[in-house]
């Protein structure tokens, strides 16, 4: 989802971009294999947004989640080191346990409470321990026009008049891929290596997010039903509060990002 927005965004900015896909390179490959496939491009920067992202699936397939998010990231970091390339690794708010009660800073200690978050945190450690020239960019509640995601699903359900169970006790920062593209470009040219948070600002519960999105889109809210996360019987625990503070970056509000996404959504589905 993010990669498919990054490619046209960076090309429009004048960068020479070589996209890969699961058909051309897998995170389950060895470091040598990755290096051999990347070497012909002579990359200056390697952006790594790929991951095993099924949070509940990671509880059922922990070995696969670790193989992709930890070992795959390690191998890509090794390949980047051999090629002399800067690595940009996209991570997640799920590296935190949600107990802080106020926005997390990039310097706060991670404490993941599910396998997905743990696998992504291990990926962060692989990058920071193996490389000197890297950017770790944690983001949260990411959505975009290129793939199915929570925001698109809610709007589609609203158009269909179908019920949406929306959690009241998960609070975070919805982030539009378009804004994250800007953040990544800014960081990769900064020379200030390290760990950052790249999320749209503002905090909101999933339930209130659903209501706000429907209001902005001119859709009815009657189908949105508030529930507690404990009612959903999900395999993985989620942090109840995972808002990310972005002290080192200029980022827009989640409402502004959603308006930009909504314009894309309406262009993609004119009847809506």
Q: Give catalytic residues, as residue numbers.
A: 116
The alpha-helical segments, DSSP class H, found in the chain are 2-12, 31-38, 55-60, 62-66, 73-83, 115-130, 150-160, 177-188, 206-217, 254-268
∠ CA 186-191-193, nearest 5°, is 95
Radius of gyration of the chain (CA): 19
Task: Tell me the C-alpha distance between 203 and 254, whole Å.
Answer: 8
Tokens of 180: 């994250």
- How many angstroms separate the Cα of 75 from the Cα of each of 29, 84, 123, 262? 8, 14, 10, 37
């Amino acid at each position: 989802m993010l990669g498919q927005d990054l490619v046209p965004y960076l090309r429009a900015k004048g960068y020479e971009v070589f996209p890969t896909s699961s058909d051309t390179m897998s995170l389950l490959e060895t470091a040598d294999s990755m290096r051999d496939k990347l070497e012909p491009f002579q990359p200056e920067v390697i952006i790594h947004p790929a991951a095993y992202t099924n949070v509940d699936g990671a509880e059922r397939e922990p070995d696969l989640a670790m193989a992709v998010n930890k070992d795959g990231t390690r191998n890509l970091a090794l390949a980047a080191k051999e090629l002399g390339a800067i690595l940009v690794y996209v991570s997640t708010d799920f590296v935190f346990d949600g107990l802080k009660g106020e926005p997390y800073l990039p310097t706060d200690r991670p404490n993941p409470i599910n396998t997905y978050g743990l696998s992504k945190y291990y990926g962060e450690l692989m990058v920071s321990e193996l490389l000197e020239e890297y950017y770790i960019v944690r983001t949260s509640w990411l959505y975009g026009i290129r793939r199915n995601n929570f925001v698109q699903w809610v709007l589609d359900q609203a158009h269909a008049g179908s019920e949406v169970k929306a959690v009241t006790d998960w609070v975070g920062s919805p982030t539009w891929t378009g804004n994250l593209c800007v953040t990544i470009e800014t960081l990769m040219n900064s020379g200030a290596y390290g760990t950052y948070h790249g999320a749209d600002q503002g905090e909101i519960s999933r339930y209130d997010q659903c209501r706000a999105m429907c209001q902005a889109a001119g859709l009815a809210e009657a189908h949105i039903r508030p529930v507690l996360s404990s009612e959903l019987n999900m395999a993985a625990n989620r942090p109840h509060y995972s808002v990310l503070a972005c002290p080192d970056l200029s980022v827009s509000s989640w409402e502004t990002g959603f308006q930009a996404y909504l314009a894309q959504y309406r262009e993609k589905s004119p009847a809506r």
